[in-house]
Structure 1
Amino acid sequence: MPTSSSSPPTDSPTTGGHRFHALRVVIPALIILVWLAGAGIGGPYFGKVSEVSSNDSTAFLPTSAEATTVQNRLPDFLGEDAIPAIVLITSQQKLDSADLADIRTLAQDLAGLPEVAGAVSPPIPSEDGLAVQIFVPLDADSEVDAAVEALRAELAATLPGGLTSYVTGPAGFAGDLVEAFGGIDGLLLLVAVIAVFLILVVVYRSPLLPIIVLVTSTFALCVALLTVWWLAKAGIVLLSGQTQGILFILVIGAATDYALLYVSRYRETLRDHDTRWAATKAAWRGSIAAITASGGTVIAGLLCLLLSDLQSNRSLGPIASIGIVFAMASALTLLPSLLMAFGRSAFWPRRPQPIGDDVDPQVAHLPARGVWARLPRYVARHARPIWIVVTLALLAGTLGLTQLEAKGVPQSDLVLGSSEARDGQAALGQHFPGGSGSPAYVIADEGELQDVTDALLGTEGVASVAVTAADSPSGTAPVTADGVQPIGPPGTPAPDPTVDDGDVLLQATLAYPADSAAAEDVIRQLRSDLGDRAAIGGPTATDLDSNNASIRDRTLIIPIVLLVILVILMLLLRAVVAPVLLIGTVVLSFAATLGISALVFDHVFDLPGADPAVPLFGFVFLVALGIDYNIFLMTRVREEALHHGAREGMNRGLAITGGVITSAGLVLAATFAALAVIPIMFLLQLAFIVAFGVLIDTLLVRSVLVPALGHELGRHLWWPSRRIAAASDPAPAAVRADTADR
């Protein structure tokens, strides 16, 4: 009820002493200044993320993985901690002695680059005489994209005419990956902010309010990034380009969603109260439960990722949770302070006015026209056919799950668009064994060297075997069934293998590209054959162990997330049936989204598959965020049902929240869709799954399916709660008759 209806609206404080009046001004001002200081400090860190982030796949492996064990011991055998790059030089005609001499000189020049760590191998000609490969170790402490770019620039400047060069191998792919992530700080944020701004302008039809909401979101992101940066600097969390992109989008989307909810409440309370202070208090009290419950649910779902075996998944949980904390904090502190400072002017030119005496307060906040005035009554009249048809439609969408291939994709396919490393790997396979330059590293006991070598050479798919030898010119020496082979003129003795703690390091070159499924099959076979006699690592083993860990995480975490969110909903709604129904609808929505997405990936985008983490990340975000909108709806429905009964409460809750929740869904879908501007397959797939799934949740599940099921169940939806006003809850037939009359 309005505090006054006879006097014009005013934003001056009500009676009370000067001290209270001063506090009403000082407290919001201090809050704004604190956030401004935090954003001012955190803003410059957008350009410093590369200092604390890593895109090295070995850094995200489980500590218990066999590939991790091998990776940690490689510096003991190879000396410098380096990332191997393969320089491939090809010619249309056979390389003559002059060409080879020029290439040897080029290899010596490459060794002088500051980015190179360790010895550059002599040029190795292919059997067909049309190509040469050079192994160049790059400093692991340098920025890999800059090091690869320097290598490519040197080749472009000094390569003899008629020859073509590529930089590929682990360093080449890592460099292309870092370059692809380069748009996160600029392009991604720009696209996301523009999309959100345009939606807010349409929603609010106000020039000022969208700016206030975007300030709230961007300030939350600045402070969240500042916090994450220092945690990554201290080694507490592991930050990657992928995690960074998700953090940016999640904070912008979530903070905007929470802001939309608060703004909607504030608009209501400005009609109920004459002063901005009273309106702010009422709006804050009416919003805090829904916003904290929503954010808490998302955080609970994200923190379930701490159970992940894969460190990249495990790191995302706390990093994204930090983002949600600051999104909630900005929506509940900075936004109310800004809106209180502007008052009704924030909504110009459609300033909300206090409710007059001639308006029934029971219908004052209900939409008088438009879709949200008509849809609740339509759903009430046709509840049963609506929920049956929608459920069948979603079940039909789940049929596409049979087409989902989420078992991993080759590293060469991770970057969308052009990739010199991918082109170089294809060219490498035409002249050398497919796994050249990216060998499987095998650590075995010195006394087992020959037995392990024989097992390696006896495995189909292993092209050759070498042992690490520090006194060899190339750093390795070939090993055959006759033992370690000499390198050099006849009579040269075979070099001694490098031994560390009684172990030697063998390098098995595979016949297949290191990131192929065939290469993974070879590693599986070798591990089965060698058992405890050797530990196998390298690029292929890293991919294999990462995929296995990701599948394990997916199987474990998804049920736990469902259970955690179910418990939270039961505590929040103080019911059993409603939470189970909400979880069921969101899971059905997710399954349909994933099924339709699989068909789109296969037949529209023509993608080769998906990373095993894509369904897991899609599930965590969709279920947590999809439940968000149901929380927004159902907390208001429960509030209305306490006074008007279950079915009328459903009608009123849907009518009042329909516009704001739909706007929030559109904002979140737009922000996640912005991830598609980064040319990384994982982010493209995640962008589509979450954006499409949010739209289904917002426009279909929350707007139609849940209300229809609510009308079908009536007060039983809130079992075992007894506070719902059952006496005012008419039977379904009465509801249909009443709505028909209207």
Structure 2
Amino acid sequence: MRWLNRPGALATLLLWLAAALLSSSFAVRLSEMSAADHPTVVPSGTQSAQVARLLNPTGVPEPLPLAVIWTQESGNRITPSQQQAAQRVSGQLTSSGPASTPVLAQDGGALMALGSADPARLGESLAEHREAADSVPGTTVHLAGPAAAQADLENAFARTDGVLLAVALGGVVLILLLVYRSVLMVLLVIASALLSLTTACAALYVGARAGWLAVDGQTQGIVFVLVIGASTDYALLLIARYREEAGRRKCGEAAMRAACRATAPPVLASAATVACAMLTLALATLPTDRGLGPAVAVAMTCCAVTSLTFLPAALMLCGPRALRRGAATGRGEGLWERPARMVQRRPRRIWLICLGLLATGAALSPLLSQAGVPLHRALPSGAASVVGQDVLARHFPAGIASPLVVVAPAAERSEVSRRVAATPGIAAVSADSEPGSSEPLLVTLVDPPDSNEARHTVDRLRAALAGSGALVGGQAAQLTDIHAAAVRDHRLIMPLVLAVVLLLLVVLLRCLLLPILLVAAAWVSLLAAFGTAALILSLFSGSSATEPTVVLFSFVFLVALGVDYNIFLVHRVRQEALSVGTVAGVREGLLRTGGVITAAGLVLAATFAALGVMPLLYLAQIGLIVGVGVLVDSLLVRVFLVPALMTDLGAHVWWPSRLPGDQAPETVATVPGPAAGGGTELSTTDTART
């Protein structure tokens, strides 16, 4: 820490200024890259992936299926003249291949033609198709199918990067103003967070361009909120310790060096915990899940480096005027003395009450169903593809826009076709080729291809075709394989995350019992967050269904972040307990870190809540679950449960090691209380301070 003097701080600030100038444009470049990149999401060994390779050996992106639906503006039946007009323009509705003949619905209220759109210029292609379809007089045109849904997804993500950043920063600024009541301090913390973000974006862009990382809109949104939240949390921790050290030392440079030496271990341990936990996703089956882990690890590294270099330098150059006392950054004698006394007087009662509250929330966790949410229900309700899918389902089989593709040996084609037609959930089977043909069968589903019912139909169909050599592909089959892979990832990643976090805590705390307790507390807190979020979703959206990937991401974040705050607390408790013993150390640690860690929890919850502005329901659900979990952890687990457990266990909590401060038993002295005959019990350490 010898560089922490005014010349060193100035040099550090200039280096970061140069880095900011060099990386300032990378956030925009990363957004453009993530919008243009459509990584493969289907596991390579699945049936749907095999069918895709058989039909497209070159791997060149194929046109996306599209359904164009015409309905009468007056709500009447489609007229013959309108059918003829649709027939004339049908050739303009496909980017490649033969034109589709428009089909009249059985109720006569709609006309539908199958087309395709070029994925390389999806927006322009759909605009051209819509313009051609609009030439049919007296009709309203709707677009549905994979091409329309993908276009809505891209358009929504393209408009939300700036909104997401503004909402996240707005929440952080509001909380920081309440904490510090100092515009200068808020500007320093926000500058540190933005610098972490631009550095992370630059690193991710370089990694993605080199092919080392896969970054899509979902990954970028999560990284944005995590970097803002984590950087702010680290800044809160450093500033609180700097203020504390500045009260003990007259020299500002010495105070900053002491603050950095004390803050660096928990900050680095926190970043390492989140990074290592997220890196377990690299073992996931789904490519999109594998890409998130390394991206978050890179982002957390940038957060830690910025918080321990740029912010100390900026604080030193600003001098004492930056340390205006805030509401939640000092010792917190008024606010945190009472919880500390409660924990010390009745520790067992406190942790039993906390476990009861958490168990109540955890009992609701089965309500969070992992059955899946169809994409057309996860997009905004007013999206064109959602409206188009609803119109399509009213007049035609809902799966007509994206049929299943069954590839079968030529000798088995007739038998395979018979089995397919006999499977429940199948609306129609193509019969445009001879029995001995090697052409694939096109199978229309009764239900939308992204629905749970379609997934069950695919499972039934594959079971019916077992032993025939036939393979089932297409959009519904791909989504079925993705869902199955996500369930398999759960069974692998979840226990691995717990093991990694436990190992890191054992190394950091140099004991065994306390890490086990911290991981167990994070697990119970996680289940309580799932249950509470499921209840909120049920009350406000009418459904608590979500995707397995949402549960997996939320699990990894909550275990890592939940242990994070306990690292901040327990590291300080250990520092104090080395000299005064565990019980007194818990009290002092809670007093010293109560305000800053609670403020950090509020900041992180607010930043994850900003995911609610994202266009996908899945991301909003992640924001809700993680936000609720962070609040539960920072306001209940860290303030009451963990301190009460440590106080109740005393010196045994560090088993199998023992701290020097616990070698001699603590004696208890009684000092006169404010009322006659009253008294307050204090340890010998507190008596000495008094």
- Alpha-carbon separation, structure 2, partners of 1:671 and 1:732: 45
Pick closer, same or farther for the CA change 1:441–1:58 going to 2, 3 Å: farther
Corresponding residue of 1:530: 465
- Superposed counterparts of 1:559-578, under 5 Å: 559-578=495-514
What secondary structure sits across from 2:465 in the alignment?
helix
- Alpha-carbon separation, structure 1, partners of 2:228 and 2:131: 38
- Letter of the structure 1 residue corresponding to residue 614 of structure 2: I
Aligned mate of 1:389, from 338, 353, 365:
353
Would you say the 8 A contact 2:91–2:100 is kept in 1?
A: no
- Letter of the structure 2 residue corresponding to residue 517 of structure 1: N
Would you say the 8 A contact 2:180–2:326 is kept in 1?
A: no
Corresponding residue of 2:399: 435
Tell me how far 1:54 sits from its aligned partner.
5.7
1:81 aligns with 2:17: no
- Alpha-carbon separation, structure 1, partners of 2:524 and 2:57: 51
Aligned mate of 1:629, from 565, 570, 577:
565
How many pairs does the alignment contain? 673
- Superposed counterparts of 1:394-433, under 5 Å: 394-433=358-397
1:332 aligns with 2:332: no
- Letter of the structure 1 residue corresponding to residue 441 of structure 2: L
- Alpha-carbon separation, structure 1, partners of 2:132 and 2:667: 80
- Superposed counterparts of 1:442-481, under 5 Å: 442-466=406-430, 478-479=432-433
Tell me how far 1:423 sits from its aligned partner.
2.0
Aligned mate of 1:186, from 144, 153, 162:
162
Tell me how far 1:136 sits from its aligned partner.
2.1
CA deviations over 1:549-580 (Å, ceiling 9, x no partner): 11111121111111111111111111111111
Unaligned runs of 5+ residues in structure 2 are 672-678
Aligned mate of 1:738, from 659, 681, 685:
681
1:35 aligns with 2:16: yes
Corresponding residue of 2:148: 172
- Superposed counterparts of 1:128-139, under 5 Å: 128-139=107-118
Would you say the 8 A contact 2:91–2:98 is kept in 1?
A: no
- Alpha-carbon separation, structure 2, partners of 1:586 and 1:25: 42
- Alpha-carbon separation, structure 1, partners of 2:23 and 2:98: 41
Unaligned runs of 5+ residues in structure 1 are 1-19, 353-364, 467-476, 485-496, 498-502
Corresponding residue of 2:50: 69
Would you say the 8 A contact 2:668–2:681 is kept in 1?
A: no
What secondary structure sits across from 1:478 in the alignment?
coil
Tell me how far 1:125 sits from its aligned partner.
2.5
Pick closer, same or farther for the CA change 1:229–1:24 going to 2, 3 Å: same
- Alpha-carbon separation, structure 2, partners of 1:172 and 1:56: 17
Tell me how far 1:129 sits from its aligned partner.
2.8
Tell me how far 1:448 sits from its aligned partner.
3.0
Pick closer, same or farther for the CA change 1:437–1:583 going to 2, 3 Å: same
- Letter of the structure 2 residue corresponding to residue 716 of structure 1: H
What secondary structure sits across from 2:40 in the alignment?
helix
Corresponding residue of 1:657: 593
Corresponding residue of 1:93: 76
What secondary structure sits across from 2:591 in the alignment?
helix
- Alpha-carbon separation, structure 2, partners of 1:152 and 1:738: 79
Corresponding residue of 1:45: 26
Tell me how far 1:147 sits from its aligned partner.
4.1
CA deviations over 1:719-740 (Å, ceiling 9, x no partner): 1222341145537998995159
- Alpha-carbon separation, structure 1, partners of 2:143 and 2:8: 58
- TM-score, normalisation: structure 2: 0.92
Tell me how far 1:385 sits from its aligned partner.
1.2
- Alpha-carbon separation, structure 1, partners of 2:427 and 2:521: 53
Pick closer, same or farther for the CA change 1:431–1:608 going to 2, 3 Å: farther
CA RMSD of aligned residues (A): 2.7
- Letter of the structure 2 residue corresponding to residue 140 of structure 1: P
Tell me how far 1:79 sits from its aligned partner.
8.7
- Letter of the structure 2 residue corresponding to residue 160 of structure 1: P
1:103 aligns with 2:86: yes
Tell me how far 1:667 sits from its aligned partner.
0.4
CA deviations over 1:129-148 (Å, ceiling 9, x no partner): 32222222211223x35544
- Alpha-carbon separation, structure 2, partners of 1:152 and 1:49: 30
- Superposed counterparts of 1:85-164, under 5 Å: 85-91=66-72, 92-110=75-93, 116-142=95-121, 144-145=122-123, 147-149=125-127, 151-152=129-130, 155=133, 158-161=135-138, 163-164=139-140
- Alpha-carbon separation, structure 1, partners of 2:541 and 2:494: 27
Corresponding residue of 2:676: none
Tell me how far 1:690 sits from its aligned partner.
0.6
Pick closer, same or farther for the CA change 1:515–1:454 going to 2, 3 Å: same
- Alpha-carbon separation, structure 1, partners of 2:397 and 2:359: 47
Pick closer, same or farther for the CA change 1:110–1:539 going to 2, 3 Å: closer
Would you say the 8 A contact 1:445–1:504 is kept in 2?
A: no
Would you say the 8 A contact 1:145–1:176 is kept in 2?
A: no
Tell me how far 1:241 sits from its aligned partner.
1.4
Would you say the 8 A contact 1:119–1:137 is kept in 2?
A: no
Pick closer, same or farther for the CA change 1:185–1:436 going to 2, 3 Å: same
Would you say the 8 A contact 2:235–2:307 is kept in 1?
A: yes
Corresponding residue of 1:510: 445
Aligned mate of 2:198, from 222, 226, 245:
222
- Letter of the structure 2 residue corresponding to residue 636 of structure 1: R
Tell me how far 1:48 sits from its aligned partner.
3.0
CA deviations over 1:684-709 (Å, ceiling 9, x no partner): 11111111110110010000111111
Aligned mate of 1:285, from 257, 261, 264:
261
Tell me how far 1:607 sits from its aligned partner.
2.7
Corresponding residue of 1:488: none
CA deviations over 1:488-512 (Å, ceiling 9, x no partner): xxxxxxxxx6xxxxx5322111122
Tell me how far 1:366 sits from its aligned partner.
7.5
What secondary structure sits across from 2:22 in the alignment?
helix
- TM-score, normalisation: structure 1: 0.86
Pick closer, same or farther for the CA change 1:670–1:78 going to 2, 3 Å: closer
CA deviations over 1:51-72 (Å, ceiling 9, x no partner): 4326998821222222222223
Aligned identity (percent) is 37
Pick closer, same or farther for the CA change 1:77–1:136 going to 2, 3 Å: farther
